[in-house]
Amino acid sequence: PEGSGAAKKCRISRDDVFLGRILGEGFFGEVHDGVYKSPTGERIRVAVKTCKDCSADVKDKFLSEADLMKNLNHPHIVHLIGVIETDPVWIVMELYEHGELGNYLVEQQYNLSTAMLTLYCLQICKALAYLEGLNMVHRDIAVRNVLVASPECVKLGDFGLSRYIDEQEYYKAMKHIIISVFVEVFSTAQQPFFWLENGQVINQLESGVRLPKPQSCPPILYSLLTRCWAYEPHGRPNFSQLVCSLRYSAAPSTHP
Ligand code: ADP
């Protein structure tokens, strides 16, 4: 194939990227930190995703995430800087040095106020409302896929499973959306329903069982969550409505 759209639009030169240490292991290969020298000479700290297997179809799958990300521009979504399409292929993104929200919630559990946790939920919701406006579903919303840019700012990432879908499909997909990410935020990153087998979760949901309120979750936020878990999709608020409701729940001092 000719190569992905992302490559055409966001191609950068390897000479401008200085690779640093390994940050972690991604699905396709190691992720490094590094520095990117922009065309204006600015030096930007970056995260570089690499791909171990450079066969054509794996490469295409690897680059499909960048292909989606190149069209996204939002303060709470991971920012794509560019792609190097020749072997070894690299995806270069802005670096968020506090790492995954999941780990951050555990490390900082005694320092994070309810107001701050609510702010993270609001920011994630803003990112999701933006995607909703583009008819895009993320399909893997979890605190392990949110990065911490600063103690007051989180960014939704990992678009590997995301898709553009038409309105009809969006409606169908909404049936399967369960806002569990908020529960993770208020449960020190513990997975929702961790006490059940995968198959049991569906059965429990079908029979009307819902997640209990995490101890630190404000009741007003939990009642919002229970509306998101309405059995019938039309009974659930969409993301823009959630942003409005969450703005009221967020303490005034954390108003963005
Ligand atoms: P993949 O989605 O390909 O499996 P991940 O997004 O999970 O890869 O990345 C693997 C690791 O690299 C994660 O643990 C994450 O902490 C780190 N990482 C990825 N992107 C960034 C980034 N932009 N800033 C900081 N760390 C990152």
Query: Which among 34, 66, 65, 60 has a CA at the least distance from the CA of 48?
Result: 34
In this predicted model, what pLDDT tens digit does every residue of 199-211 receive, in sequence order? 888 888 888 888 8
What average pLDDT does this structure show over 89-115? 96
Q: Cβ(121)–Cβ(185) under 8 Å? A: yes
Determine if ligand 1 sits within 6 Å of the CB of residue 65: no
In this predicted model, what pLDDT tens digit does every residue of 58-69 receive, in sequence order? 999 899 899 989
Return the pLDDT at 101: 96
| Chain centre to alpha carbon of residue 170 | 18
Gap between the Cα atoms of 57 and 62, Å rounded: 9
Determine if ligand 1 sits within 6 Å of the CB of residue 237: no
In this predicted model, what pLDDT tens digit does every residue of 157-211 receive, in sequence order? 988 776 766 666 665 555 445 566 888 888 899 888 889 988 888 888 888 888 8
140 catalytic per annotation: yes
Residues 6+ apart with CB under 8 A from 191: 184
Determine if ligand 1 sits within 6 Å of the CB of residue 158: yes
172 is in an annotated binding site: no
Determine if ligand 1 sits within 6 Å of the CB of residue 66: no
The mean predicted confidence, pLDDT, of the chain is 87
Gap between the Cα atoms of 141 and 143, Å rounded: 7
CA of 151 to the centre of ligand 1 (A): 18
User: Which of 17, 21, 23, 76 most suits a substitution to test ligand 1, by most atoms within 8 Å of the C-beta?
Assistant: 23
